[in-house]
Amino acid sequence: MSKISIKTAIPGPQAKAIIEQDHQYLSTSRYQMYPFVLASGQGCYVEDVDGNVFMDLHAGIAVTSTGHNHPDVNAAVAKQSARYLHNCGNVFYNDMQGHYAKRLSEVTQINNSDKNRVFFCNTGAEAWDGALKLARFATGRPNFICFYNGFHGRTLGGISANSSKVIQRHKFGPLLPGMHFSYFPRNYPCPSNPPYPTTTEGCLEYLEEVLFKKVVSPDEVAAIALEPIQGEGGYIVPPKAFIQGLRKICDKYGILMIADEVQSGMGRTGKLFAMEHFDVKPDIVTTAKGIASGMPIAAIVASESVMNWPTGAHGSTYGGNPVAIAAAEKTLDLLEGSLMDNAAEIGAYFIDKLKALQVKHGAAIGDVRGLGLMIGVEFAKLENGRVMPDADLRDAVIQKAFEHGLLTLACGNSTLRFCPPLTISKDEIDSVIDIMEQVFSALIS
Ligand SMILES: Cc1ncc(COP(=O)(O)O)c(C=O)c1O
């Protein structure tokens, strides 16, 4: 499986039958952009149940970082599966968790820390909830500052901090008290000239001058909690000065900083964690998704002085499942071996090529941005002299790209996100660019 090949009408007959069954029995809350039904994968390629081969540029939402079916990851999973599947590492000892916890604690940069500790759980949202609990426990303070456009998962703790789409919160209240929202800056505001701050200075001033003076006293704030690069909200990369400004505010008021690196972490941006691009160390990091190439595991990492909650304060039956740990260890080997560097190099190459397409196709491609292989392309249109999001164009691009054999994903108001396996090569990017060129030419006049 090494090239795109579409042989049937999409969806083909097998896919149709499976989709029909899914629609009958699975929760109505699910959301699919296109009728692709996975049968197998290899590297960046995935084959559907009718034998059509597509290129996977979303990696199961930034998860299969080492590509599909990586032989080393598979071998690690098979080896551990043959030993034991579970023993609840939260309550009993096993010979897998401590070794990986040591490695993860050593490679995660944490503020004012000589030694970190790790709590294992299963999903990004579970890590987020645990991080909120840890911050409240460590500071004795109840409140949090989160950011508009942020996304942290679907638990009540997650949706209480989410503000990327209201559907995620609608009718689920009352939500967690003590969550206050501030603004996240953007170099490319779309809609343009919005009635809220978008610059570093404006966003930091709003936090200190409005939120802290009128809404919540900083000495009652446990943590400023953010995605270093907003993911679901639109792949928004903030200016370095903003993250550094937040760190200063945290230090000034004794507030912890939580970095939700669930999407931006584990090598995706070309560094292990995206915070490293901003030269800022958070106090608590959450990680999941790309950590284990597709096996479900997540982690909270904090300094020993912060993660000192007592026995029994937090737990998880499956957290740090030994098979998932085996996949995570191997994934970290591969990231450190060459994949993180590949993400940096190929990501920069991809962004350059996309920017060249932007020049060619004009203002409809409003912005191309990203770090490493976390790349967003935002579509825009002019309305009454104002730049506005063009979600219809973005959705049409995703559909047409799909027809040409590319699996992509939306985020934000009108952004297309590329978060492929970190194994992707220059040649593969060249073929993606050839297809995107055809797609843009067909849809943008
Ligand atoms: C930044 C961020 N945090 C948390 C989550 C939730 O992760 P999970 O779906 O594993 O609960 C996501 C998922 O997309 C995410 O992107």
Evaluate whether 113 touches 308 at the Cβ level (below 8 Å): no
- In this predicted structure, the answer to whether residue 362 has a pLDDT above a threshold of 90 is no
- Is the bond into 191 cis (omega within 30 degrees of 0)? yes
Q: Specify the pLDDT at position 231.
A: 98
Q: pLDDT per residue over 332-341, tens digit each?
A: 999 999 999 9
Question: What is the average pLDDT across 384-405?
Answer: 97
Q: What's the one-letter identity of residue 401? A: A
231/25 Cα distance (integer angstroms): 30
pLDDT band for position 1 (cuts 50, 70, 90):
confident
DSSP one-letter code for 177: T
Q: pLDDT per residue over 236-261, tens digit each?
A: 999 999 999 999 999 999 999 999 99
Residue to mutate, 61, 146, 151, ligand 1, most ligand atoms under 8 Å from C-beta = 151
Q: 379 forms bridges with which residues in the sheet?
A: 365
Closest by alpha carbon to 72, among 296, 329, 299, 244? 329
Give the position, in ligand 1's atom list, of the atom nearest the Cα of 150.
Answer: 1
- In this predicted structure, the answer to whether residue 132 has a pLDDT above a threshold of 90 is yes
Give the CA-trace dihedral at 284, 289, 295, 296, to 10 degrees: 60
Ligand 1 contact via 281 beta carbon (within 6 Å): no
Q: Specify the pLDDT at position 17.
A: 98
State the average pLDDT for the chain: 97
Give the position, in ligand 1's atom list, of the atom nearest the Cα of 288.
Answer: 10
Residue nearest atom 8 in ligand 1 by C-alpha distance: 124
- In this predicted structure, the answer to whether residue 36 has a pLDDT above a threshold of 90 is yes
DSSP reduced 3-state for 192: coil
Q: Could you tell me the residue ranges of all domains in the chain?
A: 13-65+339-443, 73-335
CB contact burial 364-382 (16+ within 10 A = b; e otherwise): bbbbbbbbbbbbbbbbbbe
328/323 Cα distance (integer angstroms): 9
Ligand 1 contact via 157 beta carbon (within 6 Å): no
DSSP codes of every residue in 364-426: GEEEEEEETTEEEEEEEEEETTEEEE-HHHHHHHHHHHHHTTEE-EEETTTEEEE---TT--H
Give the position, in ligand 1's atom list, of the atom nearest the Cα of 230.
Answer: 1
Ligand 1 contact via 232 beta carbon (within 6 Å): yes
Question: What is the average pLDDT across 389-398?
Answer: 98
pLDDT band for position 183 (cuts 50, 70, 90):
very high
Q: What's the 352 CA to ligand 1 centre distance in angstroms?
A: 28
Class of domain 73-335 as given by CATH: alpha beta
For residue 67, give Cα distances in angstroms to 1, 104, 423: 12, 21, 6
Residue to mutate, 160, 264, 286, 289, ligand 1, most ligand atoms under 8 Å from C-beta = 289
- CATH number given to 13-65+339-443: 3.90.1150.10
Q: Specify the pLDDT at position 445.
A: 82
DSSP reduced 3-state for 267: coil
Question: What is the average pLDDT across 17-24?
Answer: 98
329/103 Cα distance (integer angstroms): 9
Question: What is the average pLDDT across 361-378?
Answer: 97
Q: Specify the pLDDT at position 261.
A: 98
Residue recorded with tokens 């570093």: 200
- In this predicted structure, the answer to whether residue 221 has a pLDDT above a threshold of 90 is yes
H/E run at residue 251:
helix 240-253
Question: What is the average pLDDT across 34-49?
Answer: 98
Per-residue H/E/C for 339-378:
HHHHHHHHHHHHHHHHHHHHHHHHHHEEEEEEECCEEEEE
232/398 Cα distance (integer angstroms): 16
Ligand 1 contact via 390 beta carbon (within 6 Å): no
Ligand 1 contact via 231 beta carbon (within 6 Å): yes
143/218 Cα distance (integer angstroms): 9
Q: Specify the pLDDT at position 115.
A: 98
Question: What is the average pLDDT across 209-226?
Answer: 98
Closest by alpha carbon to 433, among 271, 315, 424? 424
Question: What is the average pLDDT across 361-381?
Answer: 97
Q: pTM above the 0.95 mark?
A: yes
pLDDT band for position 102 (cuts 50, 70, 90):
very high
For residue 331, give Cα distances in angstroms to 16, 67, 182, 335, 372: 34, 10, 35, 6, 17
pLDDT band for position 82 (cuts 50, 70, 90):
very high
